[in-house]
Structure 1
Amino acid sequence: MIRLITDSQRYEAKVGEGLRSHYLFSFADYYDPENMEFGPLRVFNDDYISPRSGFPSHPHSELEIITIVLAGELTHKDNIGNETKVTPGLVQRMTSGTGITHSETNETDEEVHLLQLWFLPNKRGLAPSYEVMDVDFIKAKNELVPLVTGQKVLEDVVYINSNSTVYYGSVTQGEEITFRTFKLRRTLIYVLTGSVLVNNVEADGHDQIRLDEQEVIGIRGTADATFILVDVPAVEANY
């Protein structure tokens, strides 16, 4: 099954001054019982944070939180001693585990654009932990760059406690990338810029395609495009 969800079908959050956000799944004041999660992927938000604004200190537990900054500089601070400036090319993972408190703010004079993905972990009761890695994905061209994985088949990638992998993809007009997976897994593609043809389904900027029971996924650029591809199990084991 292949399902296209267009830009206009995304939920536009009304958060207040300093933050613009779109939610791909039910989150905060947006609730749709038919759009709660995608395998262990529970949250996928596309956020813009204005200068001198952001998310003040708040708690999390039992989540794997991935932050991908596409533009600007995000300051992360937490109660286990981490303070990091996250910029494009860096990928951040926070295991909230039994409990962590953190803040995410824009302390600069330029807007920050980021993606944040929350996964349900494959193990509960983990100690809180944090990792940030320079993956240098921004320069990708006609390839899929793995950003985070818990499948233990990739090296030099941020580790996540989920049997999932997140890729950054880039494809130029007329070129094609082939992604191979298994029928027992699910794939989500979120187009950042440009447009692509995914198994003969056209998707433009901010559209998403959700695929089930597809072993081979062809992604052709109908214009120069960038996108996020998330490969997940249908059900996360051990949760």
Structure 2
Amino acid sequence: MATTPTATNFTVFGIDISRYQGNEINFLNRQVDKLTFIICKATEGITYTDSSFKTNWPAIQEKGYVRGAYHFYHCKDDPAKQVANYLGVMGKFSDTDFPPIVDFEETSIDAGVNKANIQTNLLSFLTQLAQKTGRKPLIYTDNNTANAYLTDPAFASYDLWIADYNKTVTVPTVWKSKTWTFWQQTQNYKLNGQLNDYDVFNGDTDAFANFIKSS
């Protein structure tokens, strides 16, 4: 059984998972839970791979969900080496997968990092990902982090996955003219007794299919 989502006026929704959900993927059933997509953690920094990725990634596709995988970005680590870690684990993206996803949040700002270089390095990371995959990355962030560190207008060219646990979304300043593409509404969506992050897409099924195809 699933708890009621924060908002129900969306037709395309999913969850994002990592090792913290254990073997939850084994118990998910699209005919029952009605999820359209599942996003899993792949990598972090320059060496880390999520211990559940090897199981989650193929299983998401086998169970009929649209799949995505994200890299948790660390400002202290070299952008090119982070790209190499992520793509070394991911391999080739399918046309039916999400584009590359970068997770940039408060804990991405490592102690002692030169804050003057944060945006330049992150943009380099995003550019390299796009060049190597032929897909334009999706950025996951929250308002506080984005408004403090993602102030370069160049970030607006990337689709936004916003974490905002209020009843309505507040879009970070850089994306005001573009709005959000995905909204993480809550961290407390329960499926089969397991808590999950719950995400909705800003559009209908046709718009979602076009997003996957064109991004």
Asked if these proteins are the same fold (TM beyond 0.5), I'd say no
TM-score, L = length of structure 1: 0.34
Greater strand share, 1 or 2? 1
More contact order relative to length (CA 8 Å, sep ≥ 6) = 2
Q: Report which of the two has the higher share of helix.
A: 2
- TM-score (norm. length: structure 2): 0.36
